[in-house]
Every structure is written in structure tokens, then in C-alpha cells.
Amino acid sequence: MPVKSIQLGQVWRNDANGKNYLVTKLYSELFTQFAMLREASSNAADAGTTRVKVQKQDDSATLPGYTYTQDATDF
């Protein structure tokens, strides 16, 4: 699900494993933007991070393989 922009603190659900991930950092390399995600769970401090390339289209952005959860009612 695309959003207007990817922001820190957003929660995204991994489509493959169903786990929720928190956006902890955004950064750019040349013409590409990346989001760093950390699993949103009780052991998040020990969990590693995942780097995902942000896909932008017109006025929206999305993380491929992830679904934005904060618009869902089943959160």
C-alpha cells in the first residue's frame, strides 16, 4: 500500500513472514532512498536491521515486499 511519504516510526508488515517492522532510519545514496527497518517485537533491541529500497511513483512511496499497517484496522 503506497503512502505519501515514508517516515520514521511507521510500521510496515513483511508480506512473506507477517512480522511487523519499524522504520528507524531513512537515507539517500545518489538518486535512491533507503529505509532501515527493525523488527517491532519484544526483542527488537537484539534484532538486526533490514535495508529496503524505497519505490517512488508520482506522489506516493512504498516499500516492496511490505504493507503499511497503520491504515489497517487489524493492527
pLDDT tens digits along 36-73: 999 988 776 777 889 999 999 889 999 999 999 986 55
pLDDT over threshold 70, residue 74: no
Q: Is the distance from CB of 47 to CB of 24 less than 8 angstroms? A: no
pLDDT at 73: 52
The full set of domain ranges for the chain reads: 11-68
Q: Is 15 exposed, middle or buried (0-12, 13-18, 19+ CB in 10 A)?
A: exposed
Calculate mean pLDDT across residues 4-12: 93
pLDDT of residue 75: 45
